[in-house]
A and B are shown apart, each in its own frame.
Chain A
Amino acid sequence: MSSTATATATAAPTASAIQRSQVDLVDFIDWSGVECLNQNSAHSIANALKQGYREDDGLNVESDADEQLLVYIPFLQVVKLHSLAVKGPEEEGPKTVKLYSNREHMGFSNVNDFPPSDTVEFSAENIQAGKPVVLKYVKFQNVRSVTIFIEDNQSGGDVTKVQKIAFFGTTVETTDMKGLKKIEDH
């Protein structure tokens, strides 16, 4: 009972409560809609997103024609994004990552058409460690889908490799249907 309460964040978000109540949103990703442009077909986005694959540092998503990657992730329900963890190798890991919330079907041609909801610059150490980076929470209160634009990588080479991408946050719906109990007669 208490665990469902923390998972659904009904409490007012104090600073400590935020850290505790964030869930890994991998369970809320709508896999049928996940798209990744410019990925190398042998190394696809699932390697970085899916549970199990992303833990394996040998499996990563690689870019194909050049160093940029555009990943579109829709969610099964509306979520709030708190932080983002990206892990990659020291040289080919991503450097500049831009996030766009609720923009469908973006292409490389229109990434520059509107400002990103947030931009994160990874340094070599934190891309290697893959620690979560806190995002501008206020911009991600009502997120149906997120687009990740990886603009360049650490070394400036032609191939960008990413081992893990994970989002942490909370769901907006406060009712966890599985936790609901039937009202039983006394």
Chain B
Amino acid sequence: MVLEATMICIDNSEWMRNGDYTPSRFQAQADAVNLICGAKTQSNPENTVGILTMAGKGVRVLTTPTTDLGKLLACMHGTGLEIGGELNIASAIQIAQLALKHRQNKNQRQRIIVFAGSPIKYDKKMLESIGKKLKKSSVSLDIVDFGEEDEGKPEKLEALLTAVNNNDSSHIVHIPPGPNALSDVLISTPVFTGDGEGGSGFVAAGPAAGGDYDFGVDPNIDPELALALRVSMEEERARQEAAAKRAAEEASSQNQGDEQSSKLQDTTMADTTGASAAVATDAAEPMSEVDALLQQAIALSMQTPASDSAVRDTDMSEANNEDQDLAAALQMSMQEGEKDSSGQMDMSEVLEDQAFVSSVLASLPGVDPNDPSVKDLLASLHGKSESSDQKKDEEKAAKDDEK
């Protein structure tokens, strides 16, 4: 809950057109930035965040540090965001420092977050002197090294980090291209959690909130919550095992879905405590009928075998046509879903229990569990899509179908 003013420096150079991060480097970066803005403003209401672009026609400050999350998100999606040009890290950092110097609340600590996606043309010496200046003015620096794997780039950035680092308040994260979204990987790093403090509930959805205790909750401070978390964790494990067994017995057409579900289970199990903490907190909350419906709808909107998105869409539309309640719930869940993608992933596991799901479905008016299209949907519950962008696409497609 540190009071902080942050300047985020984003890379909008030509190298960001590359698609090695889905859907493109630039988009992945934008998602990550949105998440960071949200996390920072949530962890302390007086925190301010500003954004500047490092490439394009030149270093340009999009917003000076502000508490207004809407303005920040609008900036990232605005029309002024052209991709092109070359990264100019030195001026960018100096301008960020200047922007922070003129912040309104002088009590805030200063932090700069740099997304370095393209090769760095400056030499180590220059970066070190920049780092030294930042250290002198007690500005912390977080570096996200992704995209271009230049020889010497990680060393240069590490040198910059050691020059700036004061008591571990600055961090560097290297993210190689891979199936995981940039933002998902970032959530687990200190860039998000801010020196490992844990932060608010939003940030606690990331695993780093764990710390010393099993569930990121001190049993001394809140024994009931810790107990509830432990119980639901065990229930969850049992449910997942049962679901895994069931998934293994499914028809051959679901084979791909099985692979994905088990892969997902592995990754989510490997995910540390925070994921289960999020699930558990969901379970611990009183689950009213409305909540159950909503979560049902969220699960339906998220889960599909990756290859079957076309089938998926028709399923969705059929469901929509059939059931007005379900459709309304789906709409609401879409809005929720866009905000909290990581939370969705976790909630899906709660609904893996087929018995539970079918009982919920039976309670929905107008939905007959024996109906073939509903059965297809149920079967598809065991296949999961991993990419949050895919989810968004599907939700958008469903929205279009809706219209």
**Could you list which residues of chain A lie within 8 angstroms of chain B, going by C-beta atoms?**
37-38, 41, 64-66, 68, 104-105, 107-109
Across the interface, A65 reaches (CB within 8 A) one of B101, B106, B132, namely B132
Closest to B163 in A: A65
Structural contact, A108 and B137, CB atoms closer than 8 A: yes
Q: Is B167 an interface residue (CB 8 A)?
A: yes
Structural contact, A64 and B106, CB atoms closer than 8 A: no
Structural contact, B138 and A37, CB atoms closer than 8 A: yes
From DSSP, what is the main secondary structure of chain A's interface residues?
A: loop
Cα distance A65–B129 in the bound complex, in angstroms = 10
B residues within 8 A CB of A65? 132, 135-136, 163
Question: Which among B106, B133, B136, B167 has the highest number of chain A CB atoms within 10 Å?
Answer: B136
Structural contact, A66 and B167, CB atoms closer than 8 A: no
A residues within 8 A CB of B163? 65
A residues within 8 A CB of B137? 37, 107-109
Q: Which of B216-249 contact A (CB under 8 A)?
A: none
Structural contact, A64 and B133, CB atoms closer than 8 A: no
Q: Which of B151-198 contact A (CB under 8 A)?
A: 163, 166-167
> Given A105-B106, A107-B101, are A64 and B135 also a contact pair (CB < 8 Å)?
yes
For this complex, 10 residue pairs linking A to B, each with C-beta atoms less than 8 Å apart, are: A37-B137, A38-B138, A41-B166, A64-B135, A65-B136, A66-B132, A66-B136, A108-B136, A108-B137, A109-B137
Q: Which of B73-127 contact A (CB under 8 A)?
A: 101, 106
B residues within 8 A CB of A66? 132, 136
B167 to chain A, nearest CB (A): 6
B131 to chain A, nearest CB (A): 9
Cα distance A107–B163 in the bound complex, in angstroms = 18
Structural contact, B133 and A108, CB atoms closer than 8 A: yes
B residues within 8 A CB of A109? 101, 137
Closest to B102 in A: A105
Question: Which among A37, A65, A107, A109 has the highest number of chain B CB atoms within 10 Å?
Answer: A65
Cα distance A64–B169 in the bound complex, in angstroms = 15
Cα distance A107–B94 in the bound complex, in angstroms = 13
